[in-house]
Amino acid sequence: MTQAILIEKTGETQTVGLKEIELPPLAEGDVAVDVAFSTLNYKDALAITGAAPVVRTFPMVPGIDCSGIVRESRHPDFTEGDRVVLNGWGVGEKHWGGLAGRAHLKGDWLVKLPAGVSLRQAMAIGTAGYTAMLCVMALEANGVTPDRGEVVVTGATGGVGSVATALLAAKGFTVAAVTGRPEEEAYLKSLGAASIVPREELTGKPRPLGKERWAGAVDVVGGEVLANVISMMTYRGTVAACGLAGSMNLPSSVAPFILRGVTLAGVDSVMCPREDRIAAWERLASDLDMGKLEEMVTEVALEDVVSVAPKFLEGKVKGRIVVPVAPDLG
């Protein structure tokens, strides 16, 4: 038995609360993890509020992220005492997730935490930071370097945007941070942003080709914002698209792709192959300024997760929300 946030549904009525639950028995290949820290992400907020049909089966323990210590393992790669991190794989949607005191997870989903990254830092990074690293790697793979020109990050005050801004700035890129919250300019510049772009500049109807501004982009918004960003990329620029916080539509034109050779690189963190996950976590351990990471963090107790979740949908969340479940584990 363990405490967990549990989402239940009867007919059309969804209820969510902190409850005592019984985990299913370990199957071959499974690992029991004592959860030290979890997080609250946009997808978790959608699940908890019921604002989108994220949850596939009920009852469901949300939480697409967790870090902790292996308690018991039926997987050859993990032994008792290993420090592990989980991101994605449909956890919190199809499989019970990390907003709980303990989680039973498939070993193939887990990554051993790199040395030098604490369990708390792993969740300060979380899926948002790991996705941001995948975006940076996608830009690099397509030849985007600091000397090519400025890069733009949309939704910059959110989890992915905050980490992407810090990572890119640390690599020497000149970062333009897009936000609809001008009061957060000091926060974004503390992460390394060189300039602030008001979101309103990217929300009008996109032209087939706009003025060339950016060599690279990390987009979490989608919709008109992404379409405008694409239209303003420089020749052979690359956009790493990983989110749809604004819209899943793309009212764009083929013009940037066939006239400027722009690349739209889709970044998926949920089903990303394990070897890419390991590479991303190793890069995070070496490239991310943990001091800047700490500036992004707000802690929320497990029992307060349900009341905080709606703030994501209201656009009132900045940076990363860490949920200390059993912080004494490490």
Question: What's the pLDDT tens digit per position in 111-144?
Answer: 999 999 999 999 999 999 999 999 999 999 999 9
CATH of the domain at 75: 3.90.180.10
Q: Dihedral, CA atoms, 62, 29, 124, 226, nearest 10 degrees?
A: -70
Within this chain, do residues 102 and 132 fall inside the same structural domain, yes or no? no
Within this chain, do residues 258 and 312 fall inside the same structural domain, yes or no? no
What is the DSSP code string of 178-247? EES-GGGHHHHHHHT-SEEEEGGGGSSPPPSS----EEEEEESS-HHHHHHHHHTEEEEEEEEE---SS-
Within this chain, do residues 167 and 260 fall inside the same structural domain, yes or no? yes
> Is residue 165, in this structure, part of any structural domain at all?
yes
Question: Which DSSP letter does residue 326 get?
Answer: S
Within this chain, do residues 39 and 88 fall inside the same structural domain, yes or no? yes
> Is residue 236, in this structure, part of any structural domain at all?
yes
> Is residue 281, in this structure, part of any structural domain at all?
no
> Is residue 283, in this structure, part of any structural domain at all?
no
> Is residue 275, in this structure, part of any structural domain at all?
no
Whether 330 has a pLDDT exceeding 80, the answer reads no
Within this chain, do residues 93 and 160 fall inside the same structural domain, yes or no? no
CATH of the domain at 235: 3.40.50.720
Q: Domain range holding 206?
A: 127-266
Which residues, including other chains, have CB under 8 Å from residue 137's CB and lie 6 or more apart? 276, 279, 280, 283
The pLDDT, as a whole number, for residue 1 is 87
CB 134 within 8 A of CB 271: no
The mean pLDDT value of the chain amounts to: 95
Residue 177 phi/psi, 5° resolution? Answer: -100, 125
Whether 12 has a pLDDT exceeding 90, the answer reads no
Measured distance CA(291)–CA(172) in Å, rounded: 17
> Is residue 158, in this structure, part of any structural domain at all?
yes
Query: How many CB atoms within 10 Å of residue 116?
Result: 9
Within this chain, do residues 100 and 136 fall inside the same structural domain, yes or no? no
Question: In a 10 Å sphere around its CB, with 0-12 CB exposed, 13-18 middle and 19+ buried, how is residue 161 labelled?
Answer: buried
Measured distance CA(240)–CA(272) in Å, rounded: 15
Within this chain, do residues 136 and 256 fall inside the same structural domain, yes or no? yes
Within this chain, do residues 143 and 90 fall inside the same structural domain, yes or no? no
The pLDDT, as a whole number, for residue 314 is 87
Whether 283 has a pLDDT exceeding 90, the answer reads yes
Within this chain, do residues 238 and 302 fall inside the same structural domain, yes or no? no
Residue 167: which H helix or E strand, with range?
helix 159-170
CB 112 within 8 A of CB 82: yes
Within this chain, do residues 140 and 257 fall inside the same structural domain, yes or no? yes
Whether 44 has a pLDDT exceeding 80, the answer reads yes
Measured distance CA(242)–CA(283) in Å, rounded: 18
User: In this structure, what token pair is assigned to residue 21?
Assistant: 């639950």
> How many domains does one find in the chain?
2
Within this chain, do residues 138 and 169 fall inside the same structural domain, yes or no? yes
Predicted confidence (pLDDT) per residue in 216-271, tens digit: 999 999 999 999 999 999 999 999 999 998 899 999 999 999 999 999 999 999 99
> Is residue 284, in this structure, part of any structural domain at all?
no
Expressed in percent and rounded to 5, the helix, strand and coil fractions of the chain are 35, 30, 40
Within this chain, do residues 140 and 245 fall inside the same structural domain, yes or no? yes
> Is residue 95, in this structure, part of any structural domain at all?
yes
**Residue linked to tokens 């974004």:** 188
Of 323 and 204, the structure prediction assigns the larger pLDDT to 323
